Amino acid sequence: MKVIKDLIVREIAGEYILIPTGEAALKIHGIVNLSESGYLLWNKMRSDCTEDELVEAILDEYDVDRETAVQDIRSFIEKMKKIGILENDEERTDV
């Protein structure tokens, strides 16, 4: 899975904000706030990656168990799909 290209990220007052540009601005209205972990995942998803790679990135960065990481990442991915930020809906899960 990979995020669409027509997004720019800005850090403003310690918060990460995704701003749609180009064609993305036509279907995504407003801006998207990312937490620190969401920003980590978004950066990872700028290149095509699997769900398992996202889990490993979170496990490397944060003190969290695998089950919690998997649940949180699946929730994050679902939110990204609803907003329309993912490039395609291919399900590539290796967890």
Query: What was the pLDDT predicted at 88?
Result: 61
Sheet holding 15-20, edge to edge: 7-12, 15-20, 32-34
Query: Model pTM greater than 0.85?
Result: no
Range of the domain at 49: 7-83
The β-bridge relationship of strands 7-12 and 15-20 is antiparallel
**In the chain, what is the greatest distance between 2 CA atoms, to the nearest angstrom?**
39
Q: Is residue 47 part of a domain?
A: yes
Query: What was the pLDDT predicted at 92?
Result: 40
Question: pLDDT by residue (tens digit) across 17-64?
Answer: 999 898 888 888 888 899 999 999 999 999 999 999 999 999 999 999
Q: Is residue 91 part of a domain?
A: no
CA distance 73 to 11: 22
What residues form DSSP beta bridges with 34? Answer: 16
20-37 per-residue burial string, b: 16 or more CB within 10 A, e: under 16: beeebeeebeeebebeeb
Q: Is residue 12 part of a domain?
A: yes
Rounded to the nearest 5 percent, the helix, strand and coil shares of the chain are: 45, 20, 40
* Count of structural domains within the chain: 1
Query: What was the pLDDT predicted at 95?
Result: 40
Q: Kindly indicate the confidence band of residue 94, based on its pLDDT and cuts at 50, 70 and 90.
A: very low
